[in-house]
Structure 1
Amino acid sequence: MTPGTRTAAAGAPPITTLVCDYGGVLTNPLAETYAVFSDSTGIPVEDLVAAFGRATRRYGVSPMAELEIGAISEDELVRRVLSELDREPGDVLRGLPFGEVWFRGRRTNEDLTAFLRTVRAAGHRVGLLTNNVREWEPRWRAALPVAELFDTVVDSSREGVRKPDPEIYRRLVARLGADPATVLFLDDLEENCAAARAQGMHAVRFDTTDQAVRDVGRLMDLPAFDKEPSGGTS
């Protein structure tokens, strides 16, 4: 079991709902997306990361965090970040939306998607809790069979609040109509997992697909997931 994973206490109610993060869990790792974006734009990854950091210090808040709650537009994020590099959006993105270039480096984690189908087939509910971008919604929904996989979707860009703010977890549980003690949350960031635990949920930090499947399977008392990894996120 991954360090920090909360195990079910004796006598606790069974876990009946699995809630997943999107980016870095149901997709390939963020570092891979950055690398493809760098190749597409000619901006080194370290320069891009530094520009995000400078924009955060200049405005007092992360531009990505603001984008993920719908406080700024995708175009404004691009303007803030590229201005730190003295670059123009048209030169870098060649007239394309930021999301179109960004999603060149996004791949669906097909092994985990298959596991979610296994969870549902076992009679459990599955939800999605994502810090995401309103302009990107058509892209990520096209990449996942959302209606097939998820009973509930909670998207920060539509809620105006994002993980790890406790409010978004409270909204999630309310929409599930579930006891938090029966919900298991899977996310690649420990701060988001800790926030879920603080609301009474179980949580597993995603490191690899194989590890996540093992940890989730044990907590939910599921049969072993015997599909061999396809070479995607693992």
Structure 2
Amino acid sequence: MARTDSPRRWYLFDYGNVISTPPTPSDWEVLAEAAGVDRLQDPGSAYWRYRIAYDAGALTSDEYWSLVRGSRAGPPRAAWLDALDASQWSHLNPETLDVLEDLEARGEHLAVLSNMPAAMAAQFADASWTRLFRHLFFSSSLRLVKPSPAIFERVLAELRTAPWQVTFVDDSPANVAAARAVGLHGLLFDPSEDLWRLLAEGLAVSPASQD
């Protein structure tokens, strides 16, 4: 991709576990009770087993929640479960928000890239945090999921920028590695670390040719 003349970088942020905090145990209990399935938070549960397909837009809400439940979930129940699911992922990280608000106030270019099903993206459409971003990229609308290199290439094309002009922040090592392989400046998010320092140190070690 040809290098652009844009004077500013793009800051591309993941949503879950970066802008938001993880669901609480009580959140998972409420969702599990509504779904009729225990321990949905476990890595091997049906919630996660079919999640990539749901995030990719390959499953409807009814289809996904039916697979999670192991029995038919009609539209009303699926919509209810989607609402509970969105609610448990709606708790925002105040430290991340502080950084985002400062970046936005400085006129920096901000965007989101999240693996997120269409139902959840729709419920977040009017959320206050979305106003900080110039672009919102969700896997379900792109029909691509992280860590596929294709999703990063699609975002770069939409932003009309070069990979070295993008700083990408995500909590998944696989996603960060994939972004770096495409040429983005990938930073691994850790909620226990200072995000401002991570961004500053990350840019400090960027090759001069990519500033």
Q: Pairwise mapping of residues 41-190 of structure 1 onto structure 2 (< 5 A)?
A: 41-42=32-33, 43-45=37-39, 49-52=43-46, 62-83=49-70, 89=73, 97-106=80-89, 107-146=91-130, 148-190=131-173
Residues in 1 aligned to 2:164 and 2:8: alpha-carbon distance in whole angstroms: 7
**Do 1:17 and 1:184's aligned partners in 2 also have CA atoms closer than 8 Å?**
yes
> Whole-Å Cα distance in 2 between the matches of residues 40 and 199 of structure 1?
37
Deviation string for 1:82-136 (max 9, x for gaps)? 11xxx6648xx96752111113322122331221121122332111111111111
8 A Cα contact 2:18 2:171, kept in partner: yes
Please state whether the residue corresponding to 1:97 is helix, strand or coil: helix
How much is the aligned-residue C-alpha RMSD, in angstroms?
A: 2.8
2:209 aligns with none
User: Following TM superposition, by how much is the alpha carbon of 1:155 offset from its aligned partner in structure 2, in angstroms?
Assistant: 1.2
Determine which structure has greater relative contact order: mean sequence separation of CA pairs < 8 Å that are 6+ residues apart, divided by chain length: 1
1:161 alignment partner, SS class = coil
Q: Which runs of 5+ in 2 are unaligned?
A: 1-5, 205-211
* Counterpart pick for 2:185 among 188, 202, 207: 202
Rounded Cα–Cα distance in structure 2 between residues aligned with 1:47 and 1:163: 20
Residue 2 of structure 2 corresponds to residue 18 of structure 1: no
TM-score (norm 2): 0.79
**In 2, Cα distance between the equivalents of 1:204 and 1:178?**
18
> How far apart, in 2, do the equivalents of 1:209 and 1:121 lie?
24
- Describe the shift of the 1:128–1:104 C-alpha distance in structure 2 as closer, same or farther (beyond 3 A): closer
Which one-letter code corresponds to 1:120 in the other structure? E
Aligned residue pairs total 194
Percent of aligned pairs sharing the same letter? 25
Per-residue deviation, 1:46:
6.1
TM-score normalized by the length of structure 1: 0.72
Match of 1:217 among 163, 181, 200: 200
Q: Quick one: distance in 2 between partners of 1:47 and 1:122?
A: 38
Residue 193 of structure 1: CA displacement?
A: 0.3
**SS at 1:19 equivalent:** strand
**1:34–1:73: structure 2 CA closer, same or farther, 3 Å change rule?**
farther
CA shift digits 1:65-87 (9 cap, x unpaired) = 1111111111111111211xxx6
Deviation larger for 44-53 or 198-207: 44-53
Does structure 1 retain, via aligned residues, the 8 Å contact 2:62–2:78?
Answer: no
Segments of structure 1 that go 5 or more residues without pairing to the other structure are 1-12, 57-61, 222-234
Aligned residue for 1:45, secondary structure, equals coil
The verdict on how the C-alpha distance between 1:183 and 1:197 changes in structure 2, with shifts beyond 3 A counting, is same
